[in-house]
Structure 1
Amino acid sequence: MSRPAAAAAAALLVILAAAGGAAAKTTIEPCASADSCAALLGYTLYADMKVSEVAALFGADPAALLAANALDFASPGSANRILPAGLPLRVPTRCACNDGVRKSVSVRYSARPADTLATVADVVFAGLASADQIRNANGLAEVDPDALLDAGETLVIPFPCVCFNSTDNNLPAVYLSYVVRVGDTVESIAASHATTVTDLSNVNAMGSPIVAPGDILAIPLPACASAFPNFASDYGLLVANGTYALTAGNCVECSCGPGDLNLYCTPASLAASCSSMQCPNSSLVLGNVTAQPTSGGCSVSSCSYAGLVNGTIATLLSSGLQATCPGPHQFPPLMEPSTAASHGSFLSPSPAPGPGEAGGAVPGSSDPGRSTSSAGSFSQAGLVQPLHRLIFILSLVFYLHM
């Protein structure tokens, strides 16, 4: 990694906590400012759910949730589409600085009958937060995590996330908080997210390339960065490679990849009323590109998005001479989610994870399966038989004085 060793030592704290006899690890980034960054939460559905239900659970916009996963976000009725249990999603969130560490604390959850801290942590939010972390975030008395919560009780749910200046090896990156599943190895996780074992080990300050179910890794995803002025309301927009993001009140959709890491924005068809997207002194509108072959190359003009400024969509006209004329722009393909729900055991192994099991040494070679494969859902009986995991997070001060 290109980060200085001293900065990495100060920024990367791996907190070890007892979890029913097992060790659970989470990467923590200390911070001392009020800024935030775009981040992603890796979430596996515990039951068949509508897109709107998943979005409401995390306080997200349904279209933005679909866009972040390159799922068709513009089709009629997309918010009511039913997603199958076991489907892994990337949920967009803001990673802020809270109590001296990076975390996302914008989600509020209303307890249902039969909910306990353990089921909320391990089932509803799929291990993204521990029972102890939820209890501490809400100032609750230390009680059995299997004790029933009061129905209707509102809880703040803290999620782990990191920013690391939104870069990885000096390149734009969005960080995904990924909960390790049964069958995962560091090698299979790296292969599934187009990164390397070395990069994952460095980002997460891993002493050895070994993971266990329940660990939460920070995974850097290559991204397209915007160059909007700092007075634009969507300043700092980042879009993970192969996905989309909606901005300007859902008037503009921006995509990243697949051919390069240059942000490309076009009008979206989701909003009823949008300001003009025509470039000044031009007939071109946002996303238009014209190319005219000349004796010296190709004269190219384009109208690009320059951010949302005072509620108005800013556009930028650029012209120049290129060696060759560009071909049609390639957009990341929009996929349809699988409609087949798997009702097997919760956190079942991914297909072909490689010869090593989670918690073991990384094998020398394997043909790992994609982590985006659907895992089984948690059975209805599992909702009242929570995983007995108790996470004890060491404080930053105590850790530094060990």
Structure 2
Amino acid sequence: MVPVWLLTVTVAATLLLTTPTESQPEANFKCATESATCRSLTDYTSTNTTTLNEIATLFGVKHFLDLLGANNLPTNTTNTYKVIPNQVIKVPFPCKCFNGTGKSNNLPRYKIQPGDTLSHIAAIRFAGLMKYQQIQTANIKKIPDANNITAGDTILIPLPCSCDKVGGSSVMHYAHLTENGTNIDIIAQKYGTTSQTLLSINGIEDPNKLEAGQVLDVPLPVCNSNVRNTSVDFPLLVPNGTYFYTANDCLKCKCDSAGSSNNSNSMLQCEESGLKPINHWSVCPSAKCSASVLIGNTTSTDSCSRTFCDYVGYTSRNISVVLVTQNTCAVAPSGSGGSDSGASRSILNGSVWIKLLILIHFLLFFVYHL
């Protein structure tokens, strides 16, 4: 029979090594352009089995196809799709800049359940994407006392985000929850940015202090787009390996930089979706550059360029397209992609290892006195 003290030590070790610490900084993403709006992404994981529908409801995702596109799931995926415990789902949401930081734009809104506390809502319901103090600040008129909330009340959940360009390039900012065993280099390589960029935009001076569960602002490269600033969907930000339905679902636009050295030479690829339009359109407007050239069609190619019918935006009445010539031999900007030569190779915060050593000594002490 396993001794009780050994079970106690094992449980304590598990909790210490898997539970994010309260010392982690609040996630406040810089957002310099006042009142700018854009689309952003956030990580979400649940400790229990859930469904895409439940996640969409929790975060107020109104358009289910947006959730599918952000995770590059087949368009015929149903809302009952099972999400296993700790599976990472990327959730799209609207972002707005205010007073130098970005927060989700009036979404999500959460109805307080019996037994909820602000701490539980922040850490469990929304996976630690914000601190309970940030929820209180966002609802200060309704929640003057963080220890006194009312079941049935609906409160605003402030997700961190940004609409800023990075290094002069458009990106989609992604609130990423760091995992055990990762580091700045690994994250940068995985998401197509650089270690120095991650350190800079997150204000991290010492990469050795990165902790599991810390929320990082990760700028995801997006495909180049000719969408005009007069279009309803401007800025149309679609990260590599994802797709997005636009123009009232009449068009499907995907970003795929496979075969390119980086996204700077990848154009957004838009085509007719074949779906029934939503909102006020009964039928989809024409999306042709000519009688025989549909949106997405290529009309000519040579060794370093191609001319194709490209999407440039939509209004309440029409979809605009134009013939565009793309340089397919563009040279990648200096220093783009990959990891920085001087970047840290250290793993997560050393405090985790200190806790482990303490537990080992604690265990040896009990064994010695048996």
TM over 0.5: yes
Q: Distance in 2 between matches of 1:89 and 1:298?
A: 38
Give 1:115's aligned amino acid: D
Say if 1:44 and 1:126, in contact at 8 Å, map to a contact too.
yes
Say if 2:97 and 2:162, in contact at 8 Å, map to a contact too.
no
Instruction: Kindly state the Cα deviation for residue 244 of structure 1 after the two structures are TM-superposed.
Output: 0.8
Say if 1:279 and 1:317, in contact at 8 Å, map to a contact too.
no
CA deviation string 1:329-363 (max 9, x = no partner)? xxxxxxxxxxxxxxxxxxxxxxxxx99552139xx
Of stretches 21-30 and 184-193 in structure 1, the one that deviates more from structure 2 is 21-30
**1:200-215 residue pairs with structure 2 within 5 A?**
200-209=198-207, 210-215=209-214
CA deviation string 1:275-303 (max 9, x = no partner)? 2334243312222224488xxx8996522
SS at match of 1:255: strand
Aligned pair partner of 1:66 in 60, 65, 68: 68
Say if 2:176 and 2:215, in contact at 8 Å, map to a contact too.
yes
Q: Distance in 1 between matches of 2:345 and 2:194?
A: 18
Asked if 1:271 is matched to 2:252, the reply is no
Q: Distance in 2 between matches of 1:126 and 1:185?
A: 20
Give 1:219's aligned amino acid: V
Asked if 1:143 is matched to 2:141, the reply is no
- Name the one with the larger strand percent: 1
Q: Distance in 2 between matches of 1:270 and 1:277?
A: 14
Q: Tell me the residue number matched to 1:258.
A: 257
Q: Tell me the residue number matched to 2:27.
A: 26
Q: Tell me the residue number matched to 2:13.
A: none
Q: Judging changes above 3 Å, is the alpha-carbon distance between structure 1 residues 280 and 180 closer, same or farther for their aligned structure 2 residues?
A: closer
SS at match of 2:294: coil
Say if 1:227 and 1:236, in contact at 8 Å, map to a contact too.
no
Q: Distance in 2 between matches of 1:169 and 1:285?
A: 34
Give 2:131's aligned amino acid: S
Q: Distance in 1 between matches of 2:324 and 2:99?
A: 44
Flag structure 2 segments of 5+ consecutive residues without an equivalent.
1-19, 261-265, 330-343, 352-370
Q: Judging changes above 3 Å, is the alpha-carbon distance between structure 1 residues 130 and 298 closer, same or farther for their aligned structure 2 residues?
A: closer
Question: Percent same amino acid among aligned pairs?
Answer: 29
Say if 2:28 and 2:101, in contact at 8 Å, map to a contact too.
no
Q: Distance in 2 between matches of 1:298 and 1:173?
A: 26
Q: Judging changes above 3 Å, is the alpha-carbon distance between structure 1 residues 225 and 280 closer, same or farther for their aligned structure 2 residues?
A: closer
Asked if 1:88 is matched to 2:93, the reply is no
Q: Tell me the residue number matched to 2:291.
A: 282
Q: Tell me the residue number matched to 2:360.
A: none
Instruction: Kindly state the Cα deviation for residue 216 of structure 1 after the two structures are TM-superposed.
Output: 1.6
- Give the TM-score, by structure 1 length: 0.67
Q: Judging changes above 3 Å, is the alpha-carbon distance between structure 1 residues 269 and 44 closer, same or farther for their aligned structure 2 residues?
A: farther
SS at match of 2:296: coil
Instruction: Kindly state the Cα deviation for residue 21 of structure 1 after the two structures are TM-superposed.
Output: 5.9
**1:338-349 residue pairs with structure 2 within 5 A?**
none
Say if 2:95 and 2:161, in contact at 8 Å, map to a contact too.
yes
| Structural RMSD (CA) | 3.0
Say if 1:280 and 1:317, in contact at 8 Å, map to a contact too.
yes
- Give the TM-score, by structure 2 length: 0.73
SS at match of 1:155: strand
Aligned pair partner of 2:315 in 286, 296, 309: 309
Q: Judging changes above 3 Å, is the alpha-carbon distance between structure 1 residues 319 and 158 closer, same or farther for their aligned structure 2 residues?
A: closer
Q: Judging changes above 3 Å, is the alpha-carbon distance between structure 1 residues 123 and 319 closer, same or farther for their aligned structure 2 residues?
A: closer
Give 2:93's aligned amino acid: T
SS at match of 2:293: coil
- Name the one with the larger helix percent: 2
Give 1:275's aligned amino acid: C
Which has the higher Rg, Structure 1 or Structure 2? 2
Q: Distance in 2 between matches of 1:201 and 1:93?
A: 24
Q: Distance in 2 between matches of 1:125 and 1:299?
A: 46
